[in-house]
Amino acid sequence: MKPVFLASALLATVLTGAAIAQAGAPIKLANVAELSGGGATVGTNWKNGIDLAIEEINSKGGVLGRKLEVTHADSQSNPGVARAQVQKALDAEPYVLLGPGYSGSVKVTAPLAAEAGIAQIMGGEAAELTTAGNKFLFRTSFGQQSSMPKVAKYINDELKAKSVAIVWVNNDFGKGGRDSISKEFAKYNIKVAADLSTEAGQADFAADVSKIKAAAPDAVFVYVNEEESARILKELKRQGVTVPLVGETTLVGQKVVELAGDAANGARGHVGLTTDAPVELIKAFRDKFVKKYNYVPDHNGLKGWLAIYMIKATTEKMGKVDSKGFADALHGFTITAAKEPGILMDATFDANGDIDRQGFLVEIVEGKQVVKQVLPKLGN
């Protein structure tokens, strides 16, 4: 009695799930992201960016006259679930696969997309993702292998620091950054004075900062998420740490300034992709986003947006909706903001799927980001 009910329900459900047919006109995209669990903030921003971009494109007539349509699936921040959802998305033969955002989930799903021959535009930043020779995987932001050398160079050339304390959040984002920058520091003979792992969501940084003080480094490299950045900046100020604080987008973003107040002053960092970039198009994007969702997006919102405009620009370049040709068309393609304003800043995609574009070195001065240096595209 029981087992039959069980299995028939199971089979029926799977069957209906499998039988989603491919319809005509709209271009189908599939997004698999961290909509719940530990990565919910990342995934929700990414999803909102996607929805915003699609809404805008569709209101202007779509791509090659066809509307874009996206399905969102929740990976629950779990690679196993991500794999299942990506498998499902691929079985429905989407034009392009979007997401996930966690590097671990990307790692487990990338081989599936490659096997299906469908391009995957994702949010992961771990260095190793694009070094494995996958021809279908594309980034929406700098990988750590391209941003960290710039930060290390700055710390060495401009700050002349000989010893640095590293504070990182112990997840794949933080660990990836820490590993990449440690490698760079080794090249410059910069000593790592303290190597402090912190937890995502950590509220109390007293112990970490007191360790930094004890290590007396020439500079501190902070690689944690925005909220934790704000908290540690406050604690650094309180305990009177005065050496330069260097980070990435997550240390010098507008959100951090809002949360940390005065304590953010003097923090500097490399900004590859930020809603605070001194670029008019980006500011316009930010306003649109805030208008629709009532909050300031982080870089993941921007990534989701860019992913859609990458698809638009590439498709228009090909002049047809060709899933198989998509990856080839995007490799080596430079999308200019002049031609496609949605891309916000000129961007070039190399043969590995890495993105190249301008970056900035900024410092927080009296609660405002001030661009200290514009880092040109590598390819120029």
Partner 1 sequence: MTAAKTLKIGLGIVVIAALIIVPMNFNRYGLFILSQWAVMTIAAMGLNLTLGYAGQVSLAQGAFVGIGAYTAAIMTSNGLPLIGALGVAIVLCFAIGWILGYPALRVQHHYLAFVTLAFSTLAFLVFRNEDWLTKGIYGISNIPRPEIFGYPTRRPLPFYYVCLGSLALVSLAVWWLIRSPWGRAFIALRENPVRALSLGIDTRRYTLMAFAIGSALGGVAGTLYAPLTQYVDPVPFHLSLSLDLLMMVIVGGSGFFFGPFLGAMIAVLLPEWLRFTQGYYLMLYAIAVIGLLIYSPTGILGILDRFISERRTKAASAQRAVAKAKLEVTP
Partner 2 sequence: MSNLLDLLIAGLATGAIYAIVAVGFTLLWQTSQTINFAQGEFVMLPAFLMLAVMHAGAPFWLAILIGIALSLLLLGLGFKMLLVDPMLRHGVLPLAIATMALAIGIKEAAKQFWSAEASPFPSIIPGGDITIFGRVVALQSIGVLVLAILAVLGLTTLLNRTSIGHQMQAAAQNPTVARIIGVPVERMILLTFLINAFLVALASLLITPIYLAKFSNGEVLGQAAFIAAIVGGFNQVRGAIAGGLLIGVVDNLSAAYVSTQYRAAVPLVLLIAIILFRPQGMLGRPEERTV
For the bound state, the minimum distance from the C-beta of residue 197 to partner 1, rounded and expressed in Å, comes to 8
Place of tokens 């929740």: 74
214 binds partner 2 (CB under 8 A): yes
9 binds partner 1 (CB under 8 A): yes
Q: What residue ranges in 199-307 does DSSP mark as E strands?
A: 219-223, 245-247, 267-271
Place of tokens 């301008």: 358
Instruction: Pick one of partner 1, partner 2, none as the site partner of residue 358 (Cβ within 5 to 8 A by kind).
Output: none
The token duo for 28 is 């189908």
| Beta bridge mates, 349 | 355
336 binds partner 1 (CB under 8 A): no
240 binds partner 2 (CB under 8 A): yes
For the bound state, the minimum distance from the C-beta of residue 9 to partner 1, rounded and expressed in Å, comes to 7
Place of tokens 């316009």: 284
Measured CA distances, 102 to 87, 109, 357 (Å): 17, 11, 22
**Total chain residues near partner 1 (CB under 8 A):** 46
Rg (the chain; Cα; Å): 21
Instruction: Pick one of partner 1, partner 2, none as the site partner of residue 239 (Cβ within 5 to 8 A by kind).
Output: partner 2
DSSP SS3 for 2: helix
Which residues in 282-295 are b (16+ Cβ under 10 Å) and which e? beebbebbeeebee
What dihedral do alpha carbons 181, 185, 188, 193 form, nearest 10°?
Answer: 160
Do you know the residue count of the chain? Answer: 380
41 binds partner 2 (CB under 8 A): yes
Angle at 146 between CA 358 and CA 332, to 5 degrees: 65
Q: Which of 10, 186, 214, 374 binds partner 1 (CB under 8 A)?
A: 10
| Residues between 244 and 283 that touch partner 2 (CB under 8 A) | 258-259, 261
The span from the CA of 55 to the CA of 70, in Å, is 11
11 binds partner 1 (CB under 8 A): yes
Q: Which of 44, 76, 182, 314 binds partner 2 (CB under 8 A)?
A: 44
Count of helix runs (H) and strand runs (E) in the chain: 13, 15
Instruction: Pick one of partner 1, partner 2, none as the site partner of residue 261 (Cβ within 5 to 8 A by kind).
Output: partner 2
Instruction: Pick one of partner 1, partner 2, none as the site partner of residue 365 (Cβ within 5 to 8 A by kind).
Output: none
The span from the CA of 37 to the CA of 75, in Å, is 9
User: Contact letters (x/-) for partner 1, 29-68, by CB under 8 A?
Assistant: ------xxxx------------------------------
User: Contact letters (x/-) for partner 1, 113-152, by CB under 8 A?
Assistant: -------------x-x------------------------
Query: Going by DSSP bridges, is the β-strand pair 245-247/267-271 parallel, antiparallel, or unpaired?
Result: parallel
Q: 376-379 long-range contacts, Cβ below 8 Å, gap at least 24?
A: 377/346, 377/348, 378/146, 379/348, 379/350
Q: Which of 153, 162, 175, 377 binds partner 1 (CB under 8 A)?
A: 175
Residues that bind partner 2 (CB under 8 A): 36, 38, 40-41, 43-45, 170, 196-199, 201, 203-204, 206-208, 210-211, 213-214, 226-227, 231, 234, 238-240, 258-259, 261, 293-295
**Which residues are near partner 1 by CB under 8 A?**
1-4, 6-11, 13-15, 17-18, 35-38, 72, 74, 76-80, 83-84, 87-88, 90-91, 102-104, 107-108, 111-112, 126, 128, 170-172, 175-176
